[in-house]
Structure 1
Amino acid sequence: MKKDKTSTEKLTINQKLEQLDQQIEWFYGEDFSLELAAEKYQAAATAAKEIESDLNEIKNQIEIIDRDFSKE
């Protein structure tokens, strides 16, 4: 039986992107239904915002490291 990741288990950005891809694929699949579309769209939008936040955090860390190295 496959276990879902809990909120205490941190997913990598790549894992989050894979999940987002799967969420988006649902819209193109045979299981698509208008009744679930709004809920699925909201889940995908939330996932995309979380990924964007993670990427911004990494960008900020890189900029800090870059500033530290440019001081030397």
Structure 2
Amino acid sequence: RTPAGELRAFSAVCTHLNCTVQYRPDLSHIWCACHNGHFDLTGKNIAGPPPRPLETFVVNARGNQIVVSKSA
């Protein structure tokens, strides 16, 4: 969830060498510990060696459920 309350979902696999990424609240973005890669809250690679953005998924709130899918 972004600071504005928007739900977003991304692959947890770094686009550099397939390490697992994690959200870092202290940095306010997504970080890969393997080689210090950084991604913003749109999934765009903003620092470090990752060559491309994270894969993004569609997120829909349906009643009390959150549905994540590859396409709309």
Q: TM-score surpassing 0.5?
A: no
Kindly name which structure, 1 or 2, has the bigger radius of gyration based on alpha carbons.
1
Higher relative contact order (CA 8 A, sep 6+): 1
Q: TM-score, normalised by structure 1?
A: 0.24
Structure showing the higher helix proportion among its residues: 1
Q: TM-score, normalised by structure 2?
A: 0.24
Question: Whose strand proportion is higher, 1 or 2?
Answer: 2
